Amino acid sequence: FILMLSLTLGTMITITSNHWVTAWAGLEINTLAIIPLISKSHHPRAIEAATKYFLTQATASALMLFSSMTNAWSSGQWDITQLTNPPSCLLLTAAIAIKLGLTPFHFWFPEVLQGSSLTTALLLSTAMKFPPTTILLLTSHSLNPTLLSTMAIMSIALGGWMGLNQTQTRKILAFSSISHLGWMTTIITYNPKLTLLTFYLYSLMTTSIFLSMNSTNTLKLSTLMTSWTKAPMLNTTLMLTLLSLAGLPPLTGFLPKWLIIQELTKQEMTTTATIISMLSLLGLFFYLRLTYCSTITLPPNSSNKMKQWSIKKPVNTLTPTL
Amino acid sequence: IPLIYINIILTFTISLLKILIYHSHLISSLLYLKKIILSLFIITTLTTLNTHSLLTNIIPITILIFTTYKTTINLTLLISISNTYNLNYIHNLNLLQY
């Protein structure tokens, strides 16, 4: 309905923009459209999530506008690809880091995902990440590589570490998305096409996981354990998609990691490549725990209930076999 | 004149810091958000009036339009918070830690 239309409109406006004000306007439209979606159920948690989201995104968009304005003051033009003023570049990276949820500014993201329903969390983590990444891609030649790589490594580390103690599935997915965003931002100054590739694959995998979780309504790890009774085929595909999110070799999630490591070694950043691959092991632990809980364990009372759910199954079976 | 420019950048940075380090109420952070965008608006009007280009005159007006959108959503969120919570303090935003 109207909110989804405005969301698509906002993303289209930012993607097809070569002027800063149109990009900012599109981002504002996106935030405007998603906030009623987050706070649809009049639960205090949802409203709190909406306020946190709104505050962070509003400051980020204001920072972005400020960076564009200093650039316009110093260079006299409002083109996105022509960022000549170095402090405006720094401000822009900080603003987009706040919008995406990279490490010094990641604090809002798990809480906001926790407070929203599963479908809106899906939208938040895939669709809302797309316009800021396009802006990063457009300005990737004039960004600061050291700042970006430090933020990326820290975000991969934090995404792995803080995901270890979580039992709520939405928070786990939030930290997994933080780490994936870190993977994306390592390579953005060297080969921006790889960031696009990682973003597409990451969005595919997370949509499949969110939709499968939505069909069984698993919000906690304990409900994951009993989900095999509802739809056994869904459970096996969930396991495969979780493992591909982790980045295991025969599945598609390994492809972006492999290519990123290859590009980093071409740029002679082998230490960062080893650090990144070591830190993704932390994420691997909780993905493995999720798969273990969902498929390998059996609950004490096994009741085979064959209920009919509205499941989007074809998405889940395609993504592991890609 | 660079002095005016420095002044407006000072307002921007101070209000930004005020958002990040809030006192007790949430409304103050919203106020300083509005102040940020006001300072940005002034900078844009200065740049567009000094460079006598006719195309860039649209920019401040559009910024004002989108800020009206934002402020409406600000206030509706405030109302919903005051409906569900008893107080308006920041310490009440603890629900999502678990």
Mean pLDDT of A127-142: 83
The residue-averaged pLDDT of A192-212 equals 84
Range A124-152 average pLDDT:
82
Q: Can you give the pLDDT at residue A317? A: 45
pTM for the full predicted model? 0.83
Q: Nearest by CB to A48, which of B43, B73, B96?
A: B96
**Single-letter amino acid code for the residue at A115:** G
Q: In Å, how far is A112's CA from the nearest CA of chain B?
A: 8
Min Cα distance A113 → chain B (Å) is 9
Q: Does A74 touch chain B (CB under 8 A)?
A: no
- Integer Cα distance of A3 and A37 in angstroms: 8
Question: Residue A300 has what pLDDT?
Answer: 57
Whether A304 has a pLDDT exceeding 60, the answer reads no
Question: Which residue ranges in chain B fall short of pLDDT 50?
Answer: none
Place of tokens 């002027």: A19
Q: B44 CB contacts (<8 Å, ≥6 apart)?
A: A69, A72, B59, B60, B63
Amino acid (one-letter) located at B57? N
Long-range contacts: B53-60, Cβ < 8 Å, 24+? B56/A78, B59/A21, B59/A78
Closest residue to A48, CB basis, from B37, B40, B93: B93
- Say how many CA atoms lie within 13 Å of A157 toward its Cβ: 12
pLDDT at A299 exceeding the cut of 70: no
Does the structure show a pLDDT above 50 at A314? no
pLDDT tens, residue by residue, A98-117: 888 888 888 888 888 888 88
**Nearest C-alpha neighbor of A93 from the set A62, A71, A64:** A64
User: Which CATH code is given to the segment(s) B1-97?
Assistant: 1.10.287.3510
A164-188 per-position pLDDT tens digit = 877 787 888 888 888 888 888 888 8
pLDDT digits (tens, 9 = 90+) for A50-89: 888 888 888 888 888 888 888 888 877 778 777 778 888 8
The pLDDT of residue A36 is 84
Which of A 283-302 lie inside 8 A of B, CB atoms?
Answer: none
